[in-house]
Amino acid sequence: MTAGAPTDPIPLLVPDVPDPLSLLPYLQRMHAARYYSNGGPLVRELEDRFAERFGLGAEQVTTVASATLGLELVLQSLGLRAGSRVLMPTFTFAATATAVLRAGHVPVLCDVDADSWLLTPDIARGAHATDAVDAVLPVAALGMPHDMAAWQRFEDETGLPVVIDAAAGFGSQWLAGASGTLVFSLHATKSLPAGEGGFVVSSRPGLAARVRQLANFGINLDPASHLPVGALAAVGTNAKMSELHAAVALASLACWEQGAQARRALQREMQDALARAADGRIAWQLAGPAGAIAAPTLLCARMPDAACRGRLEALCAAQGIATRRWYQPLMHRMEALLPFCTLLPTPQADALAETLIGLPFFPKMDPAQMQRLTRVMEQAMRS
Contact residues for ligand PLP, defined by CB under 6 A: 66-68, 92-93, 95-96, 139, 165, 167-168, 185, 187, 198
On whether the CB atoms of residues 116 and 286 are closer than 8 A, the answer is yes
Cβ-based nearer residue to ligand PLP, 92 or 277 = 92
**Centroid of chain to Cα 199:** 11
Cβ-based nearer residue to ligand PLP, 68 or 242 = 68
Residue 313 DSSP code: H
**Centroid of chain to Cα 171:** 11
On whether the CB atoms of residues 212 and 44 are closer than 8 A, the answer is no
**Centroid of chain to Cα 220:** 30
Integer Rg of the chain from CA = 21
Cβ-based nearer residue to ligand PLP, 198 or 372 = 198
> What is the spatial distance between Cα 290 and Cα 147, in angstroms, rounded to a whole number?
5
Q: CA distances (Å), 312 to each of 8, 218, 307, in order?
A: 17, 50, 9
On whether the CB atoms of residues 325 and 41 are closer than 8 A, the answer is no
> What is the spatial distance between Cα 306 and Cα 279, in angstroms, rounded to a whole number?
17
Cβ-based nearer residue to ligand PLP, 127 or 186 = 186
The least distance separating ligand PLP from the CB of residue 225, rounded to whole angstroms, comes to 30
The least distance separating ligand PLP from the CB of residue 67, rounded to whole angstroms, comes to 3
Cβ-based nearer residue to ligand PLP, 169 or 377 = 169
The least distance separating ligand PLP from the CB of residue 185, rounded to whole angstroms, comes to 3
Q: Minimal CA–CA distance to 282: which of 311, 247, 243, 314?
A: 311
The least distance separating ligand PLP from the CB of residue 376, rounded to whole angstroms, comes to 26
> What is the spatial distance between Cα 172 and Cα 144, in angstroms, rounded to a whole number?
7
On whether the CB atoms of residues 372 and 137 are closer than 8 A, the answer is no
The least distance separating ligand PLP from the CB of residue 197, rounded to whole angstroms, comes to 7
The least distance separating ligand PLP from the CB of residue 19, rounded to whole angstroms, comes to 22
The least distance separating ligand PLP from the CB of residue 362, rounded to whole angstroms, comes to 15
Cβ-based nearer residue to ligand PLP, 98 or 213 = 98
Cβ-based nearer residue to ligand PLP, 92 or 202 = 92
